[in-house]
């Protein structure tokens, strides 16, 4: 099969230019695009052009296949005069081919130092961040990058060395959102051969000839050794990666169903995993991995959680962003809360903001009223009415502490607040977040949103009342 025909077929077979899925939370929006079979219909595609053989091939192949393209070149200023040489080459190539050319300059070393990442990661973040910014600015449909069959092989081997699952065995996907890779069907040798055939030169990045990083060691040492054992090694590994992409679609669809079945009552603030259903799935650990990776739990944490004794209610783990707690027959996951609800002192009646972020404000208001013929006791959960003579300022609102007791209104005798919340079937996070209002004598006045203490409730002898409202 001719080189360009091979790429055209790969684009069609993998629907690379068919509707792009735009993620919207748990939903997706399909933008109707034509199925491409070799001719562009006016949509614009942005080609990442470094000046190397791969990206030069991509740019020229896409133009010859009829796509409307513009080029973007990133100068990372990492190789001195060589970086400027690459930029000049790309500019002259686009001028000759009459392809619009965009270029951007980065201080990559400074970015890496400031963000404490490797040079390679800094270049990646800068590159893809700018690609997307420019794509939106010029209303391009997608970004085309020049990863080829050999890159897919190297990525798969690198993932194997690190330890990987089914997604790592897919190597590089032909499409990832707005990033499209039309050259995954051809090898580096085929690319160079085609460029030689059409008489097109390219530049060479000297760092690609050094074996000082993992990918280059695989490229220069390991893969040639594998091809000595089996000349078709790279081809076979690349085909396996493409098959794993298809297998991954089936796997992901099945996992979506399993995850939906074992999670219940999930909200933006809390995810609940039913442990009885979790224990019944074919792979508890992988199901947990699928759920918890979204919340930045590490593979070692997932393994520990999977093997844990779930009878220990209250046992917990933390990732950088979330907390997971065992609670009776469920695993509860929520975002970590920082510095919320430190004890807040209330010296007198009035309205006080007790907690505030850009997303949330909580306040408490306390006012004194006369108990007369028109007076009514509020029945709202966020409001309590207390006998003012039974309350001594200053008051404090805080979280429940171990050993806190009160006499629940309507009940006889005192009760540990922890036991009361357990009887109310509150989960661990709800217990941790529960607030109490206490007075100067450390007497609990109100289990906020639940019940007042019977000792300070309104009676027939009450003259002055305090109306306390907690607003969230």
What is the mean pLDDT of the segment spanning 110-118? 90
Q: Band the pLDDT of 26: cuts 50, 70, 90.
A: very low
Domain termination residue (choose one: 286, 312, 335): 335
Distances (CA, A) of 362 to 70, 225, 384, 396, 459: 51, 65, 16, 15, 30
Query: What confidence score (pLDDT) does residue 429 get?
Result: 83
**414 and 320 co-located in one domain:** no
* 58 falls within a domain: yes
What is the mean pLDDT of the segment spanning 390-414? 93
Distance CA 150, CA 153 (A): 5
* 165 falls within a domain: yes
Domain termination residue (choose one: 303, 335, 367): 335
Residue 358 has pLDDT above 90, yes or no: no
Q: Band the pLDDT of 340: cuts 50, 70, 90.
A: low
What is the mean pLDDT of the segment spanning 396-406? 94
Strand pairing partners for 179?
Answer: 143, 176
User: Which of 319, 332, 325, 212 is closest to 264 using CA atoms?
Assistant: 332
**303 and 418 co-located in one domain:** no
10-19, 81-90, 174-183, 253-262: which has the minimum mean pLDDT? 10-19
* 253 falls within a domain: no
Q: Band the pLDDT of 336: cuts 50, 70, 90.
A: confident
Structure tokens at 346: 């209330």
Question: Which one has a higher pLDDT value, 350 or 26?
Answer: 350
Query: What confidence score (pLDDT) does residue 35 get?
Result: 36
Query: What confidence score (pLDDT) does residue 265 get?
Result: 67
Query: What confidence score (pLDDT) does residue 208 get?
Result: 59
* 31 falls within a domain: yes
What is the mean pLDDT of the segment spanning 17-23? 44
Structure tokens at 221: 């040492």
Q: Band the pLDDT of 89: cuts 50, 70, 90.
A: very high
Strands 395-399 and 405-406: unpaired
**196 and 277 co-located in one domain:** no
Query: What confidence score (pLDDT) does residue 268 get?
Result: 64
Reported as a single tens digit per residue, the pLDDT across 42-61 is 789 999 999 999 999 999 99
φ and ψ at residue 435, rounded to 5 degrees: -105, 150
Average pLDDT, the chain: 88
**Which CATH number belongs to the domain containing residue 65 in this structure?**
3.40.50.620
Helix (H) or strand (E) holding 142: strand 142-144
**198 and 316 co-located in one domain:** no
**286 and 414 co-located in one domain:** no
Strand pairing partners for 387?
Answer: 465
Query: What confidence score (pLDDT) does residue 412 get?
Result: 84
Query: What confidence score (pLDDT) does residue 24 get?
Result: 34
Question: Which one has a higher pLDDT value, 60 or 170?
Answer: 60
Distances (CA, A) of 300 to 264, 297, 306, 317: 25, 8, 10, 11
Domain termination residue (choose one: 242, 257, 290): 242
Count of all residues that appear for the chain in the document: 472
Reported as a single tens digit per residue, the pLDDT across 405-463 is 999 998 888 999 999 999 998 888 888 889 999 999 999 999 999 999 999 999 999 99
Distance CA 294, CA 138 (A): 32
Helix (H) or strand (E) holding 257: helix 233-262
Supply the range of the domain harboring residue 143: 3-242
Query: What confidence score (pLDDT) does residue 27 get?
Result: 33
**356 and 420 co-located in one domain:** yes
Query: What confidence score (pLDDT) does residue 267 get?
Result: 65
Tell me the H-state helices in 263-369. Answer: 275-279, 284-292, 299-306
* 370 falls within a domain: yes
Residue 465 has pLDDT above 70, yes or no: yes
φ and ψ at residue 411, rounded to 5 degrees: -120, 165
* 256 falls within a domain: no
Reported as a single tens digit per residue, the pLDDT across 125-156 is 999 999 999 999 999 999 999 999 999 999 99
Query: What confidence score (pLDDT) does residue 37 get?
Result: 39
**280 and 214 co-located in one domain:** no
**233 and 291 co-located in one domain:** no
**216 and 169 co-located in one domain:** yes
**44 and 140 co-located in one domain:** yes
Distance CA 256, CA 269 (A): 20
* 387 falls within a domain: yes
**212 and 312 co-located in one domain:** no
* 322 falls within a domain: yes
Is 319 within 8 Å of 271 (Cβ atoms)? no
**83 and 230 co-located in one domain:** yes
Question: Which one has a higher pLDDT value, 277 or 264?
Answer: 277
Query: What confidence score (pLDDT) does residue 28 get?
Result: 34
What is the mean pLDDT of the segment spanning 114-128? 91
Count structural domains, the chain. 3
Reported as a single tens digit per residue, the pLDDT across 204-237 is 876 654 555 788 889 889 999 999 999 999 999 9
Helix (H) or strand (E) holding 32: none
Residue 367 has pLDDT above 60, yes or no: yes
């Amino acid at each position: 099969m001719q080189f360009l025909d091979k790429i055209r077929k790969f684009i069609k077979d993998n629907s690379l230019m068919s509707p792009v899925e735009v993620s919207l939370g748990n939903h997706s929006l399909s933008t109707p695009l034509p199925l491409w079979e070799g001719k562009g219909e006016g949509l614009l595609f942005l080609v990442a052009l470094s000046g190397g053989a791969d990206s030069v091939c991509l740019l020229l192949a896409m133009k010859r296949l009829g796509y409307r393209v513009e080029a973007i070149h990133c100068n990372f200023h990492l190789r001195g005069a060589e970086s400027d040489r690459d930029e000049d080459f790309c500019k002259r190539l686009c001028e000759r081919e009459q392809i619009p050319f965009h270029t951007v300059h980065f201080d990559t070393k400074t970015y890496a130092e400031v963000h404490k990442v490797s040079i390679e990661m800094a270049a990646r973040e800068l590159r893809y961040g700018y690609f997307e910014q420019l794509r939106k600015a010029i209303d391009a449909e997608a970004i085309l990058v020049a990863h080829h069959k050999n890159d897919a092989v190297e990525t798969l081997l690198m993932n194997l060395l690190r330890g990987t699952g089914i997604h790592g065995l897919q190597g590089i996907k032909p499409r990832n959102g707005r990033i499209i890779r039309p050259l995954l069907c051809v090898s580096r040798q085929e690319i160079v051969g085609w460029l030689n055939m059409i008489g097109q030169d390219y530049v060479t990045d000297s760092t690609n000839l050094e074996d000082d990083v993992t990918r280059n060691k695989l490229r220069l040492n390991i893969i040639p050794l594998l091809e000595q054992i089996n000349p078709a090694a790279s081809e076979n590994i690349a085909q396996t990666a493409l098959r794993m992409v298809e297998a991954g679609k089936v796997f992901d669809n099945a996992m979506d169903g399993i995850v939906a079945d074992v999670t219940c009552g999930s909200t933006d603030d809390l995810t609940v995993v039913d442990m009885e259903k979790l224990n019944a799935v074919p792979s508890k650990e992988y199901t947990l991995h699928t759920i918890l990776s979204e919340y930045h739990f590490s593979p070692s944490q997932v393994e520990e959680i999977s093997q844990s004794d779930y009878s220990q209610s209250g046992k917990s783990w933390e990732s950088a962003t979330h907390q997971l707690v065992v609670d009776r027959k469920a695993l509860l996951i929520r975002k970590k809360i920082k510095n919320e609800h430190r004890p807040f002192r209330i010296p007198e009646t009035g309205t006080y903001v007790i907690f505030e972020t850009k997303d949330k404000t909580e306040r408490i208001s306390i006012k004194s009223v006369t108990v007369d013929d028109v007076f009514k006791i509020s029945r709202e959960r966020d409001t309590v009415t207390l006998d003012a003579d039974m309350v001594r300022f200053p008051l404090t609102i805080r979280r429940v502490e171990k050993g806190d007791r009160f006499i629940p209104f309507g009940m006889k005798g005192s009760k540990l607040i922890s036991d009361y919340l357990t009887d109310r079937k509150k989960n661990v996070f709800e217990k941790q977040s529960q607030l109490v209002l206490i007075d100067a004598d450390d007497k609990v006045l109100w289990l906020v949103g639940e019940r007042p203490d019977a000792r300070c409730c309104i009676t027939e002898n009450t003259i002055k009342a305090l109306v306390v409202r907690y607003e969230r």
